[in-house]
Copies of this chain bind each other. A is one copy, B any other.
Amino acid sequence: MSKQQNILIIGAGLCGSLLALRLGQRGYNVSVYEMRPDLRKVDISAGRSINLAFSNRGNKAMKLVGLEDKVKALCIPMNGRMIHDEHGNTFQSNYSGREHEYINSISRGELNALLLDEAEKHKNVNIHFNKKCKSVDFEKTTALFKDYNSKDEFVEDADIIIATDGAGSAMRKSYYLGKKFLFSFSQAYLTHGYKELSILPKENGDYKIHKNALHIWPRGSFMLIALPNLDGSFTVTLFLSYDEGEYNFNNLTTEDKVLEFFQNQFPDALAVMPNLLEDFFENPTAPLGTIKCSPWHYQGNTLLMGDAAHAIVPFYGQGMNASFEDVVEFDKVLDQNLGDWETTFKAYENTRKKDTDAIADLAIDNFHEMKGHVNHAIFQEKRKLEMALEKEFPNAYSSKYSLVTFNEAIGYKEAMLKGRAQDKAIINMLSDKEIDIKGNLKDILDKVKTETEAILEDDRIAGLNQ
């Protein structure tokens, strides 16, 4: 594990370029191979999410590599969800009762470019584009690449290989197909897919709808969302079933039908999307999958990180944040100087996997919450109560959303267990009229804390919290 070791990173996306930067800062010899062209020279955004939610866990990583200020300049704060109902009415539901807690919309391309620039400032970091990884021989610690320009295939050798090549990881596929060890693996698709659309800026460059919010049009079994971009536009995403319900991706095949769907369901959005039909029929429909696997490493030779190890659905806005946090956690394990890579990889997976499993499950829960529950009376009452508690007792109360998104000092698993118990406590007490939003807030806080602790304790005794 000496600094002269050669580390090969597969994939120079958000996770790979951050990892290259951090390992470069630590003095390792780092070679990165990326299948796409250099996004600083070619526009390759078509069809992919062009903006993402960036929050505290991601920022923790930016602090680690000294980029907090540069990244802040790319961020558009979103203080809450702006809910749009069927009649075009809107109301904002903040993410936290504490004013300094909000999430940000950030451009995937701009952020990736910044990380590549910073990584390349280290002369011990070399990044190669247009080199697609075809497979990894994890026993020999070599990777097979194909050069997109020359069409040549070549093999690269390294002391260790870390694959950050995303949800479709070539190295994970080699683990699966190799059958050299027991590899637990799951891919789980939602019945819904997604399609990206857009709200373009006004002619004067202004935003057509409120800039500082994550807009949601929840409709029970489907929804539309929109996140702002720095150029005055919004990236809009439609989440819809492939084949169920009156309108679905399989039957939205004509311009008339698409217009009818938006006219019926999202009239206020349609009014600011004159380019809807063009977007709808030009952009692909993509699936929503969760990937989990284990082990992430093969002995001390190879390691999966980021989406390659744990791809999640986008509904908690944590995909990028979780991958960035991977690098922070890996860096902490490196600080422990465990002596060899196998021990290091094992320690990293032991501390990290429980948390990436948790955010995967939380993201699926939030899918149901966003498309449906945000509209339900009892959910809205709970949110109102939690906002009031966070505002009144900023140091004593955090909702599940806050625990996951803004409390970067605890892991996702702890946030999930505590957050779910709190949700259960509040919803049951509201439903049983044991608490009332008009009651004394200090009494409510005490009741929520007591009931939450009782739920956690009952689960612990029954062995349900492992």
Binding site for B on A (CB under 8 A): 182-189, 242, 287, 289, 292, 423-424, 427-428, 431, 458-459, 461-464
B427 engages A461 (CB within 8 Å): yes
Instruction: List residues of chain B with CB within 8 A of the CB of A463.
Output: 427
A461 engages B189 (CB within 8 Å): no
B186 engages A186 (CB within 8 Å): yes
What is the bound-complex CA distance between A366 and B416, given in angstroms? 25
How many identical chains are in the complex?
A: 2
A461 engages B428 (CB within 8 Å): yes
What is the bound-complex CA distance between A461 and B426, given in angstroms? 11
Task: Please give me the residue from chain B that is nearest to A368 by CB atom.
Answer: B463
A189 CB contact (under 8 Å) in B182, B242, B459: B182
A462 CB contact (under 8 Å) in B183, B188, B423: B423
Q: Is the interface of A mostly helix, strand, loop or mixed?
A: mixed
B431 engages A182 (CB within 8 Å): no
What is the bound-complex CA distance between A76 and B289, given in angstroms? 46
Task: Please give me the residue from chain B that is nearest to A287 by CB atom.
Answer: B182
Instruction: List residues of chain B with CB within 8 A of the CB of A431.
Output: 461
B428 engages A458 (CB within 8 Å): yes
19 contacts between A and B (CB under 8 A): A182-B189, A182-B242, A183-B187, A183-B189, A184-B186, A184-B187, A184-B188, A184-B189, A185-B185, A185-B186, A186-B186, A186-B187, A186-B292, A424-B458, A424-B462, A427-B461, A427-B463, A428-B458, A428-B462
Instruction: List residues of chain B with CB within 8 A of the CB of A462.
Output: 423-424, 427-428
Q: Supply 15 further A-B pairs (C-beta < 8 A) apart from A182-B242, A183-B189, A185-B186.
A: A182-B287, A182-B289, A183-B187, A184-B186, A184-B188, A184-B189, A185-B185, A186-B186, A186-B187, A186-B188, A423-B462, A424-B458, A424-B459, A424-B464, A431-B461
